[in-house]
Structure 1
Amino acid sequence: MKKNMGGLDRTIRIIAALIIAALFYFKVIDGTLAYVLLAISAIFLLTSFISFCPLYTLFGISTCKVKE
C-alpha cells in the first residue's frame, strides 16, 4: 500500500473521530445514528494510522506531499 494521505488530512480525521466518540460518550447521539457514526469514526482512525484511504485510490486523489 502506497501512502496517499497527508498530515493535515490525517489530523482532521482523527479530530473528527474523537468528536464523534465524545458525542457518543456524553449521549448526545444515540440509536442507529450513533452506531453508524462510530463505525465511520473507526474507519477514520484506521485509515489515519496507516495513511492509506481506499476511496482515494478509486478517485485518483492523493493528499500526501510528493518528494522531488
Structure 2
Amino acid sequence: MRAIFDMIKVFVLFTSFTILFYYAIIWVNEEYQHFHRYDEPEGSALKVVSMNNGQTYSIKERLIFFYLNGE
C-alpha cells in the first residue's frame, strides 16, 4: 500500500512540474514573440564587415570565407 501511495505522489509531482514547465515555456514565447532581432540598430552603431565593397565573390570564395570566419 505504501508503494502505491509513493507512486501516486511521484505521478502527481511529475504531472504538476510538467504543466508548470509547459506554461513557463508559453510565457517565455509570448515575451519574446514581438522582439525584432533584425531591426536597424539605434544609436551610434558601426558596420564592422562589408563583403560587397565593389567586388564580386565566387561561391568557392564565399564558402572559404564561411569556413574561416563562421559567417
Shorter-chain TM band: 0.3 to 0.5
Greater share of helix residues, 1 or 2?
Answer: 1
Between 1 and 2, higher relative CO (CA 8 Å, sep ≥ 6) is seen in 1
TM-score (norm 1): 0.33
